[in-house]
Structure 1
Amino acid sequence: MSDESMQVIREARRDWVFEHREAYLNSGGAEGHIMDITAVGGRNFATHCMIKYVGRKSGKVFITPLCYADIGGEVVICASKGGADHHPAWYLNLREMETIDIQIATQAFHSTWREPEGAERQKVWDFFVDCHPFYATYQASTERVLPLVMFKIVEAIPVFKASDATGMRQD
């Protein structure tokens, strides 16, 4: 997908993403975890988590909501950026971190992360696309392989608050 096409999609979604993040944060996770995203090719019972990470250049703390699935006791997300030709900033930031914080509904955790490879990656990809079918369209829109990131929970932490974030996600 061209950067120009991605920009049009990003502008249309910006308000929705901001509202989703704010609802998730302001409700302590009671809202925003399960959402109907059939309007964008998703399911009516789609699951969303939030990740909290530090910007590799800015040093600011960001909180980003993302679709997720649970496979084999690990949480999996996809660095799709809607099928853009380059990785989302959150993914580039995450790659610089050993651990990451993740919130699922009303629970938050420190976690380790990894990227599945080979046959495991294909298994996880197939499962993820079954949960969130529009990711297949995203993958078809770009030549880059969309990264999958898997989280293993380490310990419980307090849920995220809007005041935790010192930066605002731009993409």
Structure 2
Amino acid sequence: MTSSDDIVISPTGWVAEQARLYEESDGTKGTTVMGAPCLLLDYRGRRTAQWRRTVLIYGRDGDDYLIVASNGGAPTHPLWYLNLRDEPDVRLRVGGERFPARAETLSPEEKARVWPGLVELFAPYADYAEKTTRDIPVVRLRRTDTAERD
């Protein structure tokens, strides 16, 4: 695994501050955003291959984690999502645990099934979906080290 020094943290001020708090506390602080649970997502930049980190709200679907590429309802996808499409192998920190995962954008049918629960978890998602013409992707993050845990 890469060290924290090798990871570029989001340039957005509050995200960077929360990511540092989350990491420095070993996942005991900074674990929620507006009352919703959040994780740290480490992903590779599609042009630079540099590891990058952001903080994202997550939901669950069985053992998998779900993240929403809402970008606050902006007309464009968030950069982290564009990177995941090109390089789906990521690393997560959820609370005190860090592990590898693989990202996959949900099909429209899967998204329709999980979307109500995600909106229940974080109500602004409904507003974000209404204010943009783009389809907001939902991404499944599936742990890839399950053989090591069994």
TM over 0.5: yes
- The interval holding the TM-score normalised by the smaller chain is 0.7 to 0.9
- For structure 1, list consecutive stretches of 5 or more residues without a partner in the other structure: 1-13, 38-43, 157-171
Distance in 1 (CA, whole Å) between partners of 2:104 and 2:80 is 15
Distance in 2 (alpha carbons) for counterparts of 1:57 and 1:76? 25
Q: Deviations over 1:22-80 (max 9, x none)?
A: 11111111111134x1xxxxxx3x10001101111122210110000112221000011
Counterpart for residue 21 of structure 1: 19
- Which residue in 1 is equivalent to 2:110? 120
CA positional deviation for 1:16: 2.0
Compute the RMSD of aligned alpha carbons: 1.4
Q: Do the aligned residues in 2 keep the contact of 1:32 with 1:105 (CA within 8 Å)?
A: no
Answering whether residue 128 of structure 2 is matched by residue 138 of structure 1, we say yes
What are structure 2's unaligned runs of at least 5 residues? Answer: 1-11
Give CA deviations for 1:65-101 in whole Å, capped at 9, x if unaligned.
0000112221000011111100111000111114211
- Normalising by structure 1, we get a TM-score of 0.74
Equivalent residues of 2:99, 2:143 under 8 A apart: yes
Cα-to-partner distance string for 1:89-141 (whole Å, 9 max, x where unaligned): 10001111142111101101111221221322101111111111111111111
SS in 2 for 1:95: helix
1:118 & 1:139 partners in 2: Cα distance?
Answer: 14
Which residue in the other structure is 2:32 paired with?
34
